[in-house]
Amino acid sequence: MTQRPKRLNKAWQDLREALEGLRTRIVQSEAAQLPLLEQQDPSLPWHPGIRNMLHYLALRSVDLRPLQGALSDAGLSSLGRAESHVLDSVQCTLQILYAALQMPPADFSDATAITREQGQRALTDNTLALLGSPPHQRSTHIMVTLSGDRADDADFFRRLFTAGMNIARINCAHDSPGIWRRLAEQVRTASRDTGQPCRILADLAGHKIRTGPLPDAPGVIHLRPERDRLGRLLEPARMTAMACHQASSSLPSGVDCLLLLVSGSAMPQQGEDLLCHDARGKERVLVVERVENEVITLQATQGCYFTAGNRCQSRRRRHVQGYFAGIPQSVVPLHLEIGDSLLLQSQGGPGGPALNGRPARISCTVPEVIPQLPIGQQVWVDDGKIAAVVLEQTSEGALLRITKTKPGGARLLPDRGLNFPGLALELPALSAKDLDDLGTIIPLADLVGFSFVENAGNMRSMLEALRQRQGEHLGVIAKIETASAFHHLPEILLAALGRQPMGVMIARGDLAVEVGPERLAEVQEEILWLAEAAHLPVIWATQVLEQLTKKGVISRPEFTDAAMGVRAECVMLNKGPYAVEAVHTLNDILTRMQAHQHKKFSQLRALHWGATEEPPDQWPEPPR
């Protein structure tokens, strides 16, 4: 028999000892933690994801990079794709080493190991229970946020289904219960008409901490004709007005303002010129392009600004006179620059700009958080566009100093998000609105999105709220959108595993503000890994194909980001005028990418250099 070199034999012995030590760490960690979990919660059911997640946490508690390099050099598994079957992966590698060292196979009956096949099956079953069956030829679900403006557009819903949507999201932070019901009806109807199943996620608003109101100012209509680079007119600017003799309390949809005609005035006619002075006193001519009932369309070939009270008169028929009214008021934003002070008011009511030595001020939609802000606490506003730090607590609220804006300053408007990175806020798990909304959405939805879940106690409160309302059948999506939720993710998952269908959403918008944009790429990977260890499906969310959805164009980085979403079980698109086109594109990207990637596993399908297209029937079956 050929003798192995002593150096190689020593290297394999070292690997064996290292892996045996790693296995001991994993088994001892499970033995220590599982009884504690059962003691804290006697109802804790046995679930393969619980044991495997405990194994994964033990595996990742040490730096394995040197060991991984040595394993790879020896032609063995580097444990880099062991998330779904941690202990089994270590034990299989050990058995290979025992055989190579001519040692008898080890007896590993002292611990329960989840095999790779069992882990894959558990993830598939949990995904099926939560999200339903994926469509033919695509293993990743597509979720689309619905807009209340489309609640009566049945054709829009059918086109979403045809494009590839199979989960619809209703955002309970917007619209009303009546609109939510109408959206759910449209989804169910389109599902029946197309024969395609679709689940509904109702996303609770949570404690969305936002800026309060600012004073309104008189509304302005700014007309800007389109011109080429030489200033030549390409397209006139247009506005619509309802011509009437009495003011109306509301404007019809699509109408910009009222044209109140003076007593005895006739209606303007198509082709007629209306002479007027705009808000600056500039003489302008508006041409009546079209008249439909009482709604007239006016076009301008010069830029102009109109406010309520600006008068106009026909050039040809002097008795046709009127003035503009009913222009919706607009908010005047706060202008903030680095070094400015901003008072975060503890009382409600409108804010305002700096005046007479007093700082600019704005209120907060959840005022009870303001006294909890310590001196030196960082505050991020409007998805990180503005940064500030707490200087002091006053009788009126928390005084902030602005530390970051874009060059030239930033505009602060109402209803902009406020984040306090690293601060554990003392708020109930579910807001009063959330509890009220649960009664509406339980009959409508298949899934409930738990916004701003922070810890295991929050998750238990959600499960209890569902139980009290006979909503145990709903799947729960834990939205990870704060640094605290990320750090407590294992306990959040353990609080719900096995009790009812559950998944994780990587809510990258707020999460990026909380952990920092540079760290987000790392954090989203860690969430993917831990969820796979627990055999739970993941939703890849926030700003996927955002430009395509909102503007109808796509950037190259968006393609790459969408392609990375294939590692999750579901990818979420936001609402927008081009949502159907975005679903078409995402469906194509995901269908192509599933032949190359499954979780962290790169799949080596046959490559055909120079081929322009590969027929779909040659794509390998995606792993289940």
Backbone torsion region of residue 345, taken as left when φ is above 0, otherwise alpha when ψ lies between -120 and 50, otherwise beta: beta
The gap from C-alpha 38 to its chain's centroid, in whole angstroms, comes to 34
Distance separating alpha carbons of residues 218 and 237, to the nearest angstrom:
21
Residue 517's pLDDT is 85
> Are the C-beta atoms of 138 and 590 separated by less than 8 Å?
yes
pLDDT value of position 249: 76
DSSP state, 567? G
Are the C-beta atoms of 362 and 212 separated by less than 8 Å? yes
pTM comes to 0.85
* Bridge partners (DSSP) listed for residue 449: 203, 477
Q: pLDDT value at position 611?
A: 59
pLDDT for position 624? 43
Cβ density class 26-58: b for 16+ within 10 Å, e for less = bbebbeebeeeeeeeeeebeebbbbbbbbbbbb
- Residues 6 or more apart whose CB falls under 8 angstroms from that of 376 comprise 389, 390
Give the C-alpha distances (Å, rounded to integers) separating 303 from 187, 280, 286, 402.
44, 11, 11, 36
| Res. 551 pLDDT band, cuts 50 70 90 | very high
Q: Which of 31-40, 333-342, 361-370, 495-504 has the lowest mean pLDDT?
A: 31-40
> Tens digit of pLDDT for each residue in 525-543?
999 999 999 999 999 999 9
Confidence at 372, pLDDT banded by 50, 70, 90: very high
By DSSP bridging, strand 141-145 and strand 570-573 are parallel
The residue-averaged pLDDT of 198-208 equals 95
Using one digit for the tens of pLDDT, what is the confidence trace for 123-181? Answer: 999 999 999 998 888 999 999 999 999 999 999 999 999 999 999 999 999 999 999 99
- Chain centroid, CA 323 distance in Å: 45
Q: What is the mean pLDDT of residues 203-224?
A: 93
β-pair type (597-598, 601-602): antiparallel
Q: Helices 517-533 and 489-496 meet at what angle, rounded to 10?
A: 30
User: Which residue has tokens 């030595």?
Assistant: 357
554 torsion bin: left (phi>0), alpha (psi -120 to 50), beta (else): beta
Q: Is the model's pLDDT at 77 over the cut of 50? A: yes
pLDDT of residue 622: 45
Other Cβ atoms less than 10 A from the Cβ of 334: the count is: 23
The model's pLDDT over 476-493, given as tens digits with 9 standing for 90+, comes to: 999 999 999 999 999 999
Q: What is the mean pLDDT of residues 219-245?
A: 95
Alpha carbons 99 and 90: distance in angstroms, whole number = 15
The C-alpha atoms of residue 176 and residue 436 are separated, in whole angstroms, by 12
For the chain, give percent helix, strand, coil, nearest 5: 35, 25, 40
Residue 203 amino acid letter: D
- Residue 100 to residue 288: CA distance in whole angstroms: 90
pLDDT-derived band at 348 (thresholds 50, 70, 90) equals confident
295 and 241 Cβ atoms separated by less than 8 Å: yes
**How does residue 623 score in pLDDT terms, banded at 50, 70 and 90?**
very low
Between the alpha carbon of residue 240 and those of residues 176, 274, 294, 311, 410, the distances in Å are 28, 14, 10, 16, 32
User: pLDDT at position 620, please?
Assistant: 46
Q: How far apart are CA 175 and CA 188, in angstroms?
A: 19
**pLDDT, tens digit, 9 for 90 and up, residues 12-23:** 999 999 999 999
CA distance linking residue 77 with residue 96, whole number of Å:
10
- Given this model, what pLDDT does residue 502 score? 95
Whether the Cβ atoms of residue 24 and residue 48 lie closer than 8 Å to each other? no
Distance CA 35, CA 32 (A): 6
Provide CB contacts within 8 A for 333, sequence distance 6+.
Answer: 214, 411, 412, 413
The percentage of residues in the chain with a pLDDT greater than 90, rounded to a whole number, is 82
Mean pLDDT of the chain: 92
> How many whole angstroms separate alpha carbon 436 and alpha carbon 428?
14
Residues in Cβ contact with 169 at an 8 Å cutoff, skipping those fewer than 6 apart: 143, 144, 145, 146, 200, 201, 203, 449, 572
Distance CA 65, CA 84 (A): 19
pLDDT(296) > 50: yes
Q: What is the pLDDT of residue 572?
A: 97
pLDDT digits (tens, 9 = 90+) for 239-265: 999 999 988 878 888 899 999 999 999
Provide the pLDDT confidence category of residue 36 given band limits of 50, 70 and 90.
confident
CB 438 within 8 Å of CB 466: yes
CB 251 within 8 A of CB 257: yes
